Amino acid sequence: MTKKLAMVTGALILVLALVAPGCTPESDSATPADFYKGKTIDLVTTGSAGTFNDLSARIIGAHLGEDTGANVTVTNRSSAGGLEGLNHVYKAEPDGLTMSTVASVKFITNKVMDEPTAEYDLDKFSYIMSIDRQPYCLFVAPDDPYQSITDLQAGQDLKLGATTPSGPTSLGGLTVVKLLGLDATVITGFKRISELPLAVNRGELNGYCLSISNAAAGVRSGMVKPLFILSTERSPLAPDVPAISELVDLSDEDMALVQLWGTSLSASNLFVAPPGLPEDRLTFLRGLADQWVQDEAFRAEIDQAADYEVQTYLTGDEVTQNIMGTVATMDQFQAIFTELIEKYRA
C-alpha cells in the first residue's frame, strides 16, 4: 500500500510540474515558430489613426500574421502623445504577444526631459527594427530676411516656434539657438504642427525645427523652405539641403549634440516588444523583420504609407546600439537642454 501511494504521489507531482506556469511543455520545447501559431498578438500603435505610425503598424501586422500564423490585432493607444501606449507595452507580459510601433523622437525626448509620467526605461525595451530616419531641419520663409546662418546670427529678437515644451520642435529650436549663438527665444504652445508655417508666413515666427516629412505640406505650399539639417550629413530625402556641420565650426560638445539629432532624435518608427522577451523569440522576430525589408512588396507598402521613398531601415541590434549610446550620455544632454530652456524658451 505504501509503495502504491508513493507511485501515485510521484505521478501527481509530475503532472503538476508539467502544468505549472512557466513549466508547460510548450514553453519548454516549442520553437518560436510553433509558439505563435494560433495565438493572438496585440500590436499597439502609439499614433492616432491615419498617421504613419498607425499605417506602418497595420502593414507590419499583416506580414506578422502571415508569417507566424497568429491573429494580429492593431490597437491605437495614442493618448498623452503616445505615453499611454508606451507605458502599457513596457509593463505587458514579455511573452511576445504584445508589441508596438513607436514614434521614436517623443519616445526618447520624454526621457531626455525626464518626463515623470514616462514609466519606462529606454535601455530595457526589446528592439526588433526601425523604419525610416528623418532628420530635423530649420525651416524659414522663402521671402524672410534670414536666408543664411550669417543672416540669422545678425538678427535680433528672433522667434522660433514649437508645439509642446518637451517635444522635438522645442528642443530642436533650442539646439539651433545654442549652435548658432542666436539672439532668439523659442515660443511653445502651438496646438498643431500645421500652425507653424502659417505663423512664419504671417511674420509671427522666424522659423521652426521639424522633420522633413512633417514639414512637407508647408514646403509644398511655398510658405517655408529648409535652411539646414540638424545632422552631420545630408539626407537622401533632401540632398540639396546642407548639414549644419557643413556651415559652422562646432565644438566637441556641439558636435555631440548634433550627432544626437542625427541618430537617436531623428524621426523614425521603432518596432518594439516589452522588456525581458525570451531571446529565441526576439531573434525570431528580428529575423522576420530582416526578411520584410528585403521584400520589394513590403517596402512598396511602407513607401505608400509614408508618401515618399523610405531610405533607412535599421536592425534590432543597430537600434539597440543607438539607444544604449543615448542612455550612456543622457545626463549630459539633460543638463544641456535644462540650461537652454532656462535661457531661451519664452
* Domains of the chain, each with CATH number or no CATH: 36-133+268-329 (3.40.190.150), 136-264 (3.40.190.10)
Nearest to 39 by CA among 68, 74, 76, 17: 68
The length of the chain, given as a count of residues: 346
Within the chain, which residues score under 70 in pLDDT? Answer: 1-29
Bridge partners of 272?
Answer: 100, 127
The DSSP letter of residue 48 is P
| CB-based contacts of 252, cutoff 8 Å, min separation 6 | none
Say whether 126 sits in a helix, a strand or coil: strand
Task: List, in sequence order, the alpha helices (H) in 157-236.
Answer: 168-180, 195-201, 216-220
Q: Which three cell numbers mark 112? A: 531626455
The reported pLDDT for the residue numbered 200 is: 96
The reported pLDDT for the residue numbered 29 is: 58
Nearest to 89 by CA among 155, 45, 134: 45
| CB-based contacts of 197, cutoff 8 Å, min separation 6 | 139, 215, 217, 218, 221, 223, 224
Pair 142, 224: CB distance under 8 Å: yes
Sign of CA dihedral 81, 87, 93, 96: positive
Quote the pTM value: 0.85
Question: Whole-angstrom Cα distance, residue 258 to residue 46?
Answer: 26
The reported pLDDT for the residue numbered 3 is: 42
Sign of CA dihedral 229, 233, 235, 238: positive
Question: Whole-angstrom Cα distance, residue 258 to residue 342?
Answer: 20
The reported pLDDT for the residue numbered 9 is: 42
3-state helix, strand, coil in the chain (%, to 5): 50, 20, 35
- The whole-angstrom distance between residue 186's C-alpha and the CA centroid of its chain comes to 23
Pairing type for strands 126-134 and 313-315 reads antiparallel
Q: Which three cell numbers mark 115? A: 518626463
Q: Which three cell numbers mark 144? A: 524672410
